[in-house]
Chains A and B, each alone.
Chain A
Amino acid sequence: MRAADVPFEKVTNKNFPKGPDSLASGHRACQGCGEVLALRLLLKALGTDFIAVSATGCMEVCTGPYPQSAWRMPWIHVAFENAAAVASGVEAATHVLRRKGRGHDQRIPVVAVAGDGGTADIGLQALSGALERFHENFVYVCLDNEAYMNTGIQRSSATPFGANTTTSPIGSHSKGQYTWKKNMPAIAAAHGVPYVATANPAFHLDLMNKIRRAVAIEGPAYIHVYAPCPTGWRMKPELAVESGRLAVSTRIFPLYEVIEGRYQINRKVDNPTPIADYFKAQGRFRHLKEDDVAFITKRVNADYERLVDLAEKFPVD
């Protein structure tokens, strides 16, 4: 069966999962955190019959100060750069123990969750290894808030061009981050894994169905989630969801899937919103001038057009 045809129970407004959240309330995320919103929706879609692996980061710190834990499924955190490797071990163990008649008697998805630093920078090697090894029940979720927020807003390779962070500061010789955001979904897709997707908590049903599909498909999956961070982006806390909508309508963060190497854009944007509308709510972009925005707009559009080309040349259906 094609991965695109693997059945899974779709989340809709009508059958939205009821009952307690898989991520308990009372965690210590910042006010208006878009990352914990994304995490909560992902876990709600999954229920509790899976094993979660966290990398060190905002979500790990805010959900697990001993003796409390917000995780209602078996959960393990080991270190920062190795969530993919730890999940590999968990996946291999659950697989082999089931075969040997010990442990769980059902297929157990293993879902690793890491931030952009733990994925695109220090965790890239472990992730690449895990994707290449083709673990059957392995899903990796990158919650991308576009910098090292937990430690004080330092830039990562996923920080967007022009963003002002504590290690890509603006100055007389600097316009902030001078490198383009690393294209993690493309890197993941280059491993030839059956499923890669981008998602965004502002499009919550899309996000929840993507994790469900990722879990249903046999073989490694990678989901890159836009995770707005009011604290780090110097944005009002009530604007996390709004920024998520704008990230899509400006083409900055397109929503798409790569299923067995075939592309599907989930939200086509024919008439993009001006990128300045996205930037103006975020203090990290406040210093950018008109020509900077024009430069960014040009490249964002080029990246988007390339994606459209791929979806036309290699469509899922």
Chain B
Amino acid sequence: MAKRVGMEVSIAVAEAVKLADADVIAAYPITPQTHIVEHLSELVADGELDAAYIPVESEHSAMSSCIGSSAAGARTFTATSSQGLALMNEMIYIAPVLRTPIVLAIANRALSAPINIWNDHSDIMSVRDTGWLSIFAENGQEALDLTLASFRIAEDPAVCLPISMNIDGFTLSHFIEPILMPEKAEVDKFLPPYKPQLWLDIKNPISIGLLGGPECYTEARKATDDALWGAKRVVIKAFDEFNQVFGRQYHVVETYRHEDAETIIVSMGSISETAMTAIDEMRDQGQKIGLVRLRLWRPFPEEEFLAAVSKAKNLAVIDRHMVMGCSSGPVGLEVKSLVYNSGLRPGISNFLLGLGGRDVTRDDFKYIHEKATSGQVQARCEIVGVFE
């Protein structure tokens, strides 16, 4: 039976990596790091996890080592945030096309400048176009569960792609939450040992990372993109089987009181919990408002998203990353382009909030609701609560 514990979410993620029997962890402590890798190095030092912990000299080398280790057939994990993810960026582009199923936990945090270590989604948006799967957790339990699911999804032979498991920096990573810690036997039922299809095997030598000229570059990129789109089916299956083993059902798009909602807030990550509280309060006052939360960000769950918002008159899309010189944030852009071609015609407003750790309150969601239902759709993303 699972044990109910009070645990910092970062520690829970590390415990999930232990339960998953990861073989290699390569990590670097800038940005700053979270307790995820500190705890993993303790688990290795104590012999509780039989893995190689590579204390690399940079985040660039962390991802480089992960690519090497994954290509050599090892279950591979790393974690980072913010500047560290930015430093990894060159390698982030390479890992998916080399088909290395690395699991990367990101405690989402702001990018410099100004230097700021607090939570927003600036860091992960640089990974958006690279071929990685991206999933978002809302609370500590989800962080643990999605870490386990991430190994299963990434290593599925039909996927064989790296995955980022996102938790909000500080608001999740450094908070102690009640968590159901699963038994190893349950985890083993859900997550089989990693069996790579192709690896750096002296008995069957392969070359990984050959030069791709104009005659094959497009096809190599497309093969990765096809695998990423196809991964959604595997994600759904993994979530369903996760439910069978652990009794917790996850969906690629989560909803809250959205069935009869005229206005739907679209969010990702931990602020969704604040949004749900605000929605309850607004519902009590007779407002028809609900929430659609993107758990899966890449590949974008188009059908599930459109089905969830199909009856709404207004969409209020939350972004937590500023796209400078552009009228929408990344989630806003995505929703607008998808809805435009769907035939649906809700009013779409886009709101930027919670940048660099700025507090997001229930009142912010009430303000957003007011603006989204005002009948005046703004052309540009509105920065909520900015000091003029």
CB neighbors of B among A196-227 (8 A): none
Is the CB of A181 closer than 8 A to any CB of chain B?
no
Instruction: Pick out which of these stretches binds chain A: B166-174, B201-209, B226-234.
Output: B201-209
B84 to chain A, nearest CB (A): 14
B205 touches A48 (CB 8 A): yes
A96 to chain B, nearest CB (A): 4
A92 touches B69 (CB 8 A): yes
The docked-state distance in angstroms from the alpha carbon of A97 to that of B51 is 9
**Beta-carbon nearest neighbor of A61 in chain B:** B211
A72 contacts across to B, CB distance below 8 A: 205
The one of A65, A71, A79, A102 in contact with B64, judged by C-beta atoms closer than 8 angstroms, is A79
The docked-state distance in angstroms from the alpha carbon of A68 to that of B61 is 28
B57 touches A129 (CB 8 A): yes
A132 to chain B, nearest CB (A): 7
Instruction: From known contacts A89-B24, A90-B71, infer whether A129 and B58 are also in contact, taking CB-CB under 8 Å.
Output: yes
B91 contacts across to A, CB distance below 8 A: 78-79, 82
The docked-state distance in angstroms from the alpha carbon of A85 to that of B61 is 5
Is the CB of A86 closer than 8 A to any CB of chain B?
yes
B67 touches A103 (CB 8 A): no
| Contact code string B55-91 (vs A, CB < 8 Å = 1, else 0) | 1111011101111111111101000000000000011
B202 contacts across to A, CB distance below 8 A: 48-51, 73-74, 104, 108
Is the CB of A75 closer than 8 A to any CB of chain B?
yes
B206 touches A74 (CB 8 A): yes
B68 contacts across to A, CB distance below 8 A: 53, 76, 78, 85-91, 93
The docked-state distance in angstroms from the alpha carbon of A235 to that of B90 is 36
Is the CB of B200 closer than 8 A to any CB of chain A?
yes
**Beta-carbon nearest neighbor of A72 in chain B:** B205
Is the CB of A295 closer than 8 A to any CB of chain B?
no
B94 touches A79 (CB 8 A): yes
| Contact code string B80-107 (vs A, CB < 8 Å = 1, else 0) | 0000000000110010001000000000
B207 touches A69 (CB 8 A): yes
Instruction: From known contacts A48-B205, A89-B65, A90-B200, infer whether A69 and B24 are also in contact, taking CB-CB under 8 Å.
Output: no
B43 contacts across to A, CB distance below 8 A: none
CB neighbors of B among A45-63 (8 A): 48-51, 53-54, 60-61
Between-chain CB contacts (< 8 Å), 23 pairs:
A49-B202, A51-B72, A64-B209, A64-B211, A65-B211, A69-B210, A73-B205, A74-B202, A74-B206, A77-B209, A85-B68, A86-B64, A88-B65, A89-B64, A90-B69, A92-B65, A93-B68, A93-B74, A93-B76, A100-B50, A125-B57, A125-B58, A129-B61
